[in-house]
Amino acid sequence: MQGQWRYEGRDWVAKPGSFIFEPPGDIHTLITGDEEVITLFILGGTLQYFDEDDTVIGQDDIYSVMKKYRDHCNENGIEARDDLIY
């Protein structure tokens, strides 16, 4: 949508209009430059976060992401847009 990003160790760069498919189990580190990046990630299943020792330190799924979204809206006086969810 805006800006560029890539994954550490990969030889491609995502730019506006790019489509990237990530199969389940793909492990990577997101890298951006100094510019603002706006992108759309569509998740299916669970997204897990690992530390340097490959220990799971957190995870997100549709329920935790929706809770974070609604909590952010409530904390900042923003009306949640449930019409964006299908």
Contact 64, 58 (CB under 8 A): no
pLDDT tens-digit map of 7-46: 999 999 999 999 999 888 888 899 999 999 999 988 788 8
Residue 83: which pLDDT band, with cuts at 50, 70 and 90? confident
DSSP 35-46: S--B------S-
| Residue ranges per structural domain of the chain | 1-42, 45-86
Which residues, in sequence order, are CB contacts of 74 under 8 Å at separation 6+? 80
Does the pTM exceed 0.85? no
Q: Is 52 left (phi over 0), alpha (psi -120 to 50) or beta?
A: alpha
